[in-house]
Amino acid sequence: MKRVLVTGGCGFIGRHVAHELTEHGYEVRVLDALLEQVHGRVSVSIPAGTELIRADVRDRDAVAKAVSDVDAVIHLAAEVGVGQSMYEIARYVGTNDLGTATLLEALIKKPVERIVVASSMSIYGEGLYETPDGRRVDDARRKPGDIRNGQWNLLSAAGETLSPIATDEEKRPDLASIYALTKFMQERAVLIFGQTYGVSAVALRLFNVFGAGQALANPYTGVLANFAARLANGKRPMIFEDGQQKRDFVHVRDVARAFRLALEQRLAAGQAINIGSGGSYTISDVARLLAEAMGIAKLPPEILGKARSGDIRNCFADIGKARELLGFEPRHRLENSLAEFVAWVRNNVAVDRGTDMKRELEERGLVS
């Protein structure tokens, strides 16, 4: 039996990863700072027998203790959220970049068989596009002037509307937010470390993760949780731009399974791999589907017609590499999983802080 350290193991994804590992015979140790913004003031649930070290991932002594006798590491500890990263810059860089550096330095002295890091689809910036004649475009980016004028869709240099297509791992990174910058650093640092020290390393580029257990009081977390908190309080979900932006929503249980597979599959070593559903949904459709599942379809989304700094228009996953290297196949589609999510929301206190988030961004000039 192998012992695995899961940093950030009390978080939304981390708890599911810990359960997935214990169900498959692993011993699990968790390192987590248990921040109030993420966890609120309630106790968190981790599998029985899981060892918990409550500490910040930048705490050298705690991290050294955590890695002292483990065989593998799944590194999830990170500050999450594009919008907040644009003004809490030191906080995001400190936790994500310095925290990862602290972990890797500890692993120089106590090497492990494999480390798997949670990267993010945000490193792509805009996803892949193609021109009307079928040419691939992997460096598309919107101009600030176009956004201010309400031109949400991307145009080619010739002024043609570009069509979004599934994004594969060959798409060049384009870092549009501080959060994306820190996630790219985490990914590259782990892969460079693995190559340098002979440690098998894998980066999973996660798309929009959803499922029971998301922080309903943290407005900088997943869009589905934000919408649920609004709806549960009788308020319309707020959507930036025109609501037609597309994302890939992948269930947290599928993500947890992907992390286990990334520990186990030999061919994954040294690779960065997309983990998504392989499908796409407009944000407006997601809001409507959720409202219908909650029985309050009379609350349509509020389309703000404004953009947040750091947001991109479209990005959804090509998961061919995950299928090939991990044997990964999504089992839980968004449209078939909302009943379970809604049941969980109804049994928890959903604090709506979406208006506070919008105000904080506007006060800093991050909404246009």
Dihedral (CA of 316, 302, 340, 6) sign: positive
The helix (run of H) or strand (run of E) holding residue 262 is helix 252-264
Q: Which residue has the tokens 């520990």?
A: 263
Question: Which residues are CB-neighbours of 241 under 8 A, at least 6 positions away?
Answer: 152, 303, 304, 305, 306, 307, 311, 313
CA dist 292 and 281 (Å) reads 16
Quote the longest CA-to-CA distance of the chain: 60
C-beta separation of 213 from 344 below 8 A: yes
C-beta separation of 70 from 3 below 8 A: yes
Q: Which residue has the tokens 């593998």?
A: 72
Which residues share a beta bridge with 209? 250
What six digits make up the tokens of 207? Answer: 């798309």
C-beta separation of 311 from 251 below 8 A: no
CA dist 281 and 288 (Å) reads 11
Size (the chain), residues: 368
DSSP assignment of 315-329 equals E-B--HHHHHHH---
Q: Using only C-alpha atoms, what is the Rg of the chain? A: 20
C-beta separation of 52 from 93 below 8 A: no
The one-letter amino acid at 278: G
Pick the catalytic residue: 179, 197, 220, 281? 179
CA dist 292 and 298 (Å) reads 8
Dihedral (CA of 187, 89, 282, 224) sign: positive
DSSP assignment of 175-192 equals --SHHHHHHHHHHHHHHH
CA dist 80 and 118 (Å) reads 11
Is 87 among the residues known to form the active site? no
As annotated, the active-site residues are 179
